[in-house]
Copies of this chain bind each other. A is one copy, B any other.
Amino acid sequence: MNEYIAPLRDMRFILGNLAGLPAIAALPDCEEATPDLVAAILDEAGKFSAGVLAPLNQSGDREGCRLEQGSVITPAGWREAYAQFSQAGWVGLAMPKAYGGQALPKLVSTPVTEMWFAANLAFSILPPMALGAAEALMLAGSDAQKSVFLPKLASGEWAATMDLTEPNAGSDLGAIQTRAEPQPDGSYRLFGQKIFITYGEHELTENIMHLVLARIQGAPEGVRGISMFLVPKFLVNPDGSIGPRNDMQCISVEHKLGIHGSPTCTMSYGDANGAVGHLVGEPGRGLEYMFVMVNESRFNVGLQGIAIAERAYQKALAYSRERLQGRDAATGEQNVPIGRHPDVRRMLLVMRANVMATRMLAYVAAGWFDRARHDPDPEQAARCRNLVDLLMPVVKAWSTELGIETADIAIQIHGGTGYVEESGVAQYLRDVRITSIYEGTTGIQANDLISRKLLRDEGMAMRSLIAEIRGVAEQSLGAENTAQLGAPLQQLTVILEQTMDWVVANGRNAKAEVLGTGVAFLRLTGLVCGGWQMTRAGLAAQSQLETGEGDAVYLRGIVDLAQFYFEHVAVQAASHARTVTQGGAIVARFADAAF
């Protein structure tokens, strides 16, 4: 009843037809991604996620984590699953070979990571943090730091955390107050408290490497005074062996709405004589290093939204086929599966459209990551870097907002049963609800999209994106059987362009008004990008239908899903556009005392 089956067919369709896997596998440093190896990896990940991680999802939720005498106890089965996971080499899938990783492109690690998240979100948010920490060390770490820590992170023997948030420094990291005192030996002693630290303490690994943002004594105020420190749970001897316990502790574990199986810790540094930390890179550049990882970590959170939406869809679909209730509206037949009722069909289709549209955009973006890094053509690489930068707030926020909506629909399809925890459906909503908050809320993503991605270049990157989408619309209008997709996509590009022009024209003089409708602009952008990829999918499916390749029912379903998407999901675009151009003034003007 609670199983998860990796949606390999959908994944392969997107990888092959939309995200350009063959071309990416031909890039330098991506050659590992041969068709055979990719197929084998996806299959194995599918088995591991379904066989090892998914069965622990509900029990982990029920059991949760607890703090006992400074130790965090994770749910039963976590330790064994982590051992299997790391021994199978999954942690280092996308890390360089030099440090023991498998050096696979992001486009390959993306569906794999989606599977982990879908199978067991609370468990699976741990391993990607090792990759994030490794990226930071590769960027800014000393040779000694790299050689000691990177192999341990890639193998999964040691875990990592990112310690940013403090009680008074959440969305505004400039307010960080944890302080670092320089020591004669070049190390630092850290003092301060960090909150909301995911897997801040646990015993799944023999050591934990905390990347902590702190201020060196005398550093300037604000973001320029923040440095990054590597603070291991156990000190590490020069030969890489484990030394004594560092002066830090987990002082509480949050009781959260969801992801109960993942300990969210309050970490206290330096209660005795200071936690030993090592500066990473140069002083004052901590936030900059952290933000190098930010596109990656936001991407991962977007993927979490997609993953849980897929899981919720599978569950709702299964229930809609097995639960018998009521009469068929067309034939009058009694006691039919509820999936026959028109409104239930609609809800299932909204779920599937949400999953597929967000997944298509995310996988295509994963391909851009790879091209940005590896494409030997500098123009292509720059184009992809620009697209990643422009659309990462959309991939993060739009995928998570739709992920939450999708998990919510799964409850609705289950009716009263969905409200009962034993069904497992409510957990999806509880778990996914964090994704539109952590790594920057939807509001923060919208600010980023408007301020840094749109206004800074006065819409240049967005305009070239729209031109690209328009090309797809025209191609679709030109073809015989996809005009039903090209027409709405073309309309959407007009709406997006006009709205963008308005934002660019008003962004400087009426910043508060524009930011007051930023989320509507972000949603609009997401819907148009989803339509772009859905239309590309429809074109690919239609052309395969015409040449007779592949499963006709599946391919027809892709074309129909695109049409459904336009009429039930992207249809909101015009409303968002109107809110952007008409709705900002009243937000700015509304009297504080009238709330």
B433 engages A411 (CB within 8 Å): yes
Interface residues of A in 503-517 (CB under 8 A from B): 511-513, 515-517
- Of the candidates B418, B419, B426, B588, which one forms a contact with A342 in the assembled complex, judged by CB atoms under 8 Å apart? B588
What's the Cα separation between A164 and B171 when bound, in Å?
49
A43-51, A277-285, A296-304, A554-562: which lies at the interface: A554-562
Interface: A330 (CB within 8 A):
yes
Interface residues of A in 409-460 (CB under 8 A from B): 411-412, 415-416, 418-422, 426, 429-430, 433-434, 436-438, 441-443, 446-447
Question: Which residues from B are CB-within-8-Å of A329?
Answer: 511-512, 515
B443 engages A519 (CB within 8 Å): no
Interface: A187 (CB within 8 A):
no
A171 engages B419 (CB within 8 Å): no
A419 engages B433 (CB within 8 Å): yes
B574 engages A343 (CB within 8 Å): no
What's the Cα separation between A162 and B339 when bound, in Å?
28
- Of the candidates B257, B342, B420, B554, which one forms a contact with A587 in the assembled complex, judged by CB atoms under 8 Å apart? B342
B567 engages A579 (CB within 8 Å): yes
A594 engages B557 (CB within 8 Å): yes
Question: Which residues from B are CB-within-8-Å of A579?
Answer: 567-568, 571
Interface: A564 (CB within 8 A):
yes
Interface residues of A in 542-595 (CB under 8 A from B): 553-554, 556-557, 560-561, 563-564, 567-568, 571-572, 574-575, 578-579, 582-584, 586-595
Question: Which residues from B are CB-within-8-Å of A326?
Answer: 171-172
- Of the candidates B438, B556, B594, which one forms a contact with A560 in the assembled complex, judged by CB atoms under 8 Å apart? B594
- Of the candidates B434, B442, B561, B591, which one forms a contact with A557 in the assembled complex, judged by CB atoms under 8 Å apart? B591
What's the Cα separation between A568 and B254 when bound, in Å?
35
A196 engages B416 (CB within 8 Å): yes
What's the Cα separation between A346 and B582 when bound, in Å?
13
Question: Taking the nearest CB of chain B, how far is it from the CB of A166, in angstroms?
Answer: 11
Question: Taking the nearest CB of chain B, how far is it from the CB of A564, in angstroms?
Answer: 5
Q: How many of A's residues come within 8 Å of B, CB to CB?
A: 93
Interface: A274 (CB within 8 A):
no
- Of the candidates B324, B342, B447, which one forms a contact with A518 in the assembled complex, judged by CB atoms under 8 Å apart? B342
Looking at A325, A438, A571, which has the most chain B CB atoms within 10 Å of its CB?
Answer: A571
Looking at A419, A422, A434, A557, which has the most chain B CB atoms within 10 Å of its CB?
Answer: A419
Known: A437-B416, A583-B568, A589-B560. Contact between A517 and B443, CB under 8 A? no
Interface: A463 (CB within 8 A):
no
Question: Which residues from B are CB-within-8-Å of A254?
Answer: 420, 422
A426 engages B343 (CB within 8 Å): no
Interface: A373 (CB within 8 A):
no
Interface: A175 (CB within 8 A):
yes
What's the Cα separation between A442 and B341 when bound, in Å?
13
Known: A343-B519, A571-B578. Contact between A415 and B433, CB under 8 A? no
B419 engages A437 (CB within 8 Å): yes
What's the Cα separation between A563 and B594 when bound, in Å?
14
Interface: A96 (CB within 8 A):
no
A171 engages B415 (CB within 8 Å): yes
- Of the candidates B165, B341, B586, which one forms a contact with A416 in the assembled complex, judged by CB atoms under 8 Å apart? B165
B586 engages A563 (CB within 8 Å): yes
Question: Which residues from B are CB-within-8-Å of A582?
Answer: 567, 571
A175 engages B335 (CB within 8 Å): yes
A412 engages B426 (CB within 8 Å): no
What's the Cα separation between A349 and B578 when bound, in Å?
17
A437 engages B415 (CB within 8 Å): yes
Interface: A483 (CB within 8 A):
no
Question: Taking the nearest CB of chain B, how far is it from the CB of A468, in angstroms?
Answer: 25
Known: A412-B441, A586-B563, A594-B557. Contact between A512 and B571, CB under 8 A? no
Interface: A245 (CB within 8 A):
no
B342 engages A255 (CB within 8 Å): no
Instruction: Name the residue of chain B whose CB is nearest to the CB of A345.
Output: B587
Question: Which residues from B are CB-within-8-Å of A411?
Answer: 257, 433, 437
Instruction: Name the residue of chain B whose CB is nearest to the CB of A570.
Output: B575
Question: Which residues from B are CB-within-8-Å of A568?
Answer: 579, 583
Known: A170-B415, A560-B590. Contact between A515 and B342, CB under 8 A? yes
A343 engages B515 (CB within 8 Å): yes
Interface residues of A in 241-271 (CB under 8 A from B): 254-258
Known: A171-B325, A591-B553. Contact between A447 and B586, CB under 8 A? no
